[in-house]
Structure 1
Amino acid sequence: MRRTALAALCLAAAATAGLTGCLPGQDSADSKPKGPFAGLSGGQIADRAVKATKGASSLRMKGEVTDDESKGTIKIDLALDKKGECAGTMSMGGQGKADLIKTGDTVYMKYDEAFLRAQSKGESKADTDAAVAMLAGKWSKMSLKGQDAKDMASLCDLDSVLSGMDDTGNGTTARGRTTESEGTPVITLHEKDGKDRYTAYVATEGKPYLVRIDKTSGSDGPQHLSFTDYGKPVPAQKPAGDVIDLDALGG
């Protein structure tokens, strides 16, 4: 049961990397752009946004992405940093919620009953009920010595999550209008990559951080991620109270 739930959570890392990998693209023609980033093409702005975002020590990532395998929706709200610390929540297909904390060399997780039952397909009712009785609403932990914990920890590594932004691809990036997103003044960038259409929102004040990415069309439907709380400490602290040691239970 634990491996099933962990596998579900690990899908979030892959799905997130897929969406953040949409930038940068090639330039499309801009005719003497004015205003914020005056004189810069869409591709040049995208390059600056990627550099600034990847240079951040920490951020909060929130939104909905699609798992390529199940085609289900993964909702994520996670603060993470370059030290590999993280704290947040995620869900699969709107069925329950899992809390995740990674601090030091330990990964902590707490699943609700709905999440555990949704991820127990193919298992007997007795095994599912036993897992729910043991884990639902309770914190558990694993050390990074095990592969399961290492896989989960990859979602907490900011450098790893944003690594896909180095991919250039064959898309074209065009400047859009200025607006506001997540309470921040931004400029929009539009990119086409095959059948996929993306809109990125880049901060026009302070560092040109990426504020949001929307995937507005494609075979797997709309997706979005917002990026906030740049440089803020990640609230990754060991849970208070009793914690179930999954390593001691032998998996």
Structure 2
Amino acid sequence: MAVNALKRNAVLTAALVCVGVTGLAGCGDKGSDEPFAGQSADDIAAKAVKATRDANSVRIAGTAKPQGAPQTITTDFQVDEKDNCTGTMSMQQAKADVRQTDQTVFIKGNEKFWQTALQGQPGTDKVIGKLQDKWVKSQPGDNSTQGMCDKQSVIAAMDSDKSARKGMKRGETTKVDGKEALVLTKEKSGGEKLTMYVATEGEPYILKSVTEGGKQPGEATFSDYNAKVQVEQPPAGEVVDPKTVAANG
């Protein structure tokens, strides 16, 4: 049961991350005062995908309400190209800390988190009692956490549909967390609108992305590019195997 719970929450978390990187943008022209002079919005977006993929690490924080999710999900993850990852996710009163190191994911959720994740399943109260104040782990290759802390797979999935970043329009420059950014927008069918804020100095990183309307509205901010992601493996005495918990129900 706990394995299935991890899978559902991993999917929701991955959905938020995908919302944040639906469109990426930006590469500057140092020979002009105008950011990205001579480049179309689509060209800027394409270069930003590569820049984001090449970054050693990034912190992604934001909110989203994927289709089918009962409430808004809030996440804050820092992940690197080696899939080291640390962060938090929450949905109303349900909260969980997440760590990944050596391709093993550990999740420590509060009582409300596990109640939400395991709702409708037999023996829920007994299982929750065994998960309280413990780190629930997932072994390498376990699909229950696939995509949760995989930076490269998120970027690859976003870039698989290049039409998603076609037909964008350049806007004005503004600031995001004190950094100058160029605004790119795209109107899609069904009333969906994408707005991206792209750093105009240094590497063409996305600083913020907002999706309005559509199936996955939300927003995310991108920061701490290339910062070292330090993850401590939880003490052995605080770790439980979800398969063992489910088997002993």
TM-score, normalisation: structure 1: 0.84
Residue 38 of structure 1 deviates from its aligned partner by: 1.6
Q: How does 1:78-97 map to 2 (within 5 A)?
A: 78-92=77-91, 94-97=92-95
- Aligned twin of 1:29: none
Paired residue secondary structure (1:9): helix
Of stretches 75-84 and 221-230 in structure 1, the one that deviates more from structure 2 is 221-230
Residue 190 of structure 1 deviates from its aligned partner by: 0.5
- Aligned twin of 1:163: 156
Q: Is the 8 A contact 1:186 1:202 kept in 2?
A: yes
1: CA distance, partners of 2:180 / 2:235 = 39
Q: 1:212 aligns with which of 160, 183, 208?
A: 208
Extract unaligned runs of 5+ from structure 1.
26-32
Distance change >3 Å, CA 83–CA 63, structure 1 → 2: same
Residue 108 of structure 1 deviates from its aligned partner by: 1.1
Residue 250 of structure 1 deviates from its aligned partner by: 6.0
Q: Is the 8 A contact 2:3 2:243 kept in 1?
A: no
Residue 157 of structure 1 deviates from its aligned partner by: 1.2
State the one-letter code of the partner of 1:169.
S
Paired residue secondary structure (2:173): strand
Residue 106 of structure 1 deviates from its aligned partner by: 2.0
Which structure would you say has the larger RCO, counting Cα contacts within 8 Å and 6 or more residues apart?
A: 2
**Superposition CA RMSD, Å:** 2.4
Residue 72 of structure 1 deviates from its aligned partner by: 3.5
2: CA distance, partners of 1:137 / 1:82 = 29
State the one-letter code of the partner of 1:137.
D
Distance change >3 Å, CA 235–CA 153, structure 1 → 2: farther
Q: How does 1:131-210 map to 2 (within 5 A)?
A: 131-144=127-140, 147=142, 150-166=143-159, 167-169=161-163, 171-194=166-189, 195-210=191-206
Residue 51 of structure 1 deviates from its aligned partner by: 1.6
Q: Is the 8 A contact 2:60 2:223 kept in 1?
A: yes
Paired residue secondary structure (1:36): coil
> How much identity, in percent, do the aligned residues show?
33
- Aligned twin of 2:99: 101
Distance change >3 Å, CA 112–CA 76, structure 1 → 2: same
1:191-215 deviation digits (Å, cap 9, x = unpaired):
1221210100100111010111101
